[in-house]
Structure 1
């Protein structure tokens, strides 16, 4: 099957099912995942689909947000490398805020037993991973919990973060770019992320390269708000240079 034929069939599947994912398409068409990503990139440039984490949705369904458990397993290795690199940014005996998101949750899981920190989070998966950690003084920010991300949002969460001044925040995002800034599909989550950026002296963004160039409904900051981006080697040197030119240090792992 030629690429245009495959892309036409991918578009049909996306419109029929509301979404397509890279691994399923690669298996169906008997091609590599990288070939499918190129197909989706071509369809995205044509304005026919919108790339999302792990696949694509038809253009016009920009409010779609995958649940935490549904996010792309193909980036697990990249997320693990990012999380382990982020360990070097932990303050000694200090305080950190851990955002919601799969990569930040992997950082929480990687915290060594000898680690001694005050940790604040509004993310239930993060809190669950750290609840029995002997060296963590854990503070869970509450209020309404969004089912898709299992993270607390709304006024109580915002008020709590307004009273905090942590050493470092480890931040997640659904999309990032030098031009588009930091974005996420939900306004309530965007408000909380905006609050935690303001609640720490240093901002470290943990985001795999698949999120670069993606733009979602709610914008919660600029890359200029980020001191350090830790991502994977899939971020091109050109894009890395553009981000660094905006004032953010970049580490690719």
Structure 2
């Protein structure tokens, strides 16, 4: 196996498991620990992982670590598509309704589906409220969607619109469903994201909507990032691609959260 091939596989293992030791990787790939350390050095230089004592961790395991929207779009595409399709089924097509689409790569997959959405009764429309520049661009010309773009400051890393004016606008709205993204959902800490400004916008969405649905792929389950924006009891449903671990599953059940695994 070429070094580049092994390094790609190492990066994938670390991203999936969250943490790998030098000994584990050396045994799995039948190479020396020194070879693994060189591989990890190369992968850290390429921002594929973070070196720690005795091994490596995924970059997104740090509380402030955050990938750009472009980087996230390229990850776990099949899983995010399945989550988005399940979310679409929660949107009624029988009457005019309103939803929030939070900024994020999984909510953006839902926006792709909504671009072709049609109501059961001709003339009905769906109002989509969003703070995501890419989602607004996708839905701007959708024939059966009314688009409401929240105002504020655009955060470059994620293309999310944030700030006090964003939260103030949400405070005056009462949409039917909010579809929310997150960087972590933890049995004790709750639902979190690395950035305080985005957390404030997400919190405002959670408190504005009649029903809150978290769209979270399984790499985020059991994780804590820097800023909590909701407790588990604030969430009505979680759509994810794998069963949560026992502690998180129990906490979700105790909070009354419907868990949909796709």
TM-score class normalised by the smaller sequence: 0.7 to 0.9
Residues 1:131 and 1:185: Cα distance change in structure 2 (over 3 Å)? same
Query: What is the TM-score when the length of structure 2 is the normalising length?
Result: 0.77
Native 8 Å contact 1:103 1:207 kept in 2:
yes
Deviations 1:59-92 (A, max 9, x none): xx64231110012634110000000001121134
Structure 2, unaligned stretches of length 5 or more?
1-25, 120-124
TM score, norm. by length of structure 1: 0.79
Partner of 1:96: 99
Q: 1:204, CA displacement in angstroms? A: 0.4
Change (3 A) 1:239 1:245: same
Q: Could you say what secondary structure the match of 1:182 adopts?
A: strand
Query: The residue matched to 1:128 in structure 2 has which SS?
Result: helix
User: Which residue among 41, 45, 58 is the counterpart of 1:17?
Assistant: 45
Distance 1:221 1:49 in 2: 30
For 2:108 and 2:259, how far apart are their aligned partners in 1? 21
Superposition CA RMSD, Å: 2.6
Structure 1 residue 157 corresponds to structure 2 residue 166: yes
Structure 1 residue ranges without an equivalent (≥5): 22-39
Matching residue of 2:68: 67
What does residue range 1-253 of structure 1 map to in structure 2 within 5 Å? 1-3=26-28, 5=33, 8-9=37-38, 11-13=40-42, 16-17=44-45, 19-20=47-48, 49-53=56-60, 62-71=63-72, 73-91=74-92, 92-111=95-114, 112-115=116-119, 116-233=125-242, 235-236=244-245, 239-253=248-262
Highest Rg: 1 or 2? 2
Distance in 2, Cα, partners of 1:47 & 1:175: 25
Cα 1:241–1:191 change in 2 (3 A) is same
1:176, CA displacement in angstroms? 0.9
Q: Which moved more, 1:164-173 or 1:209-218?
A: 209-218
CA drift at 1:216: 1.3
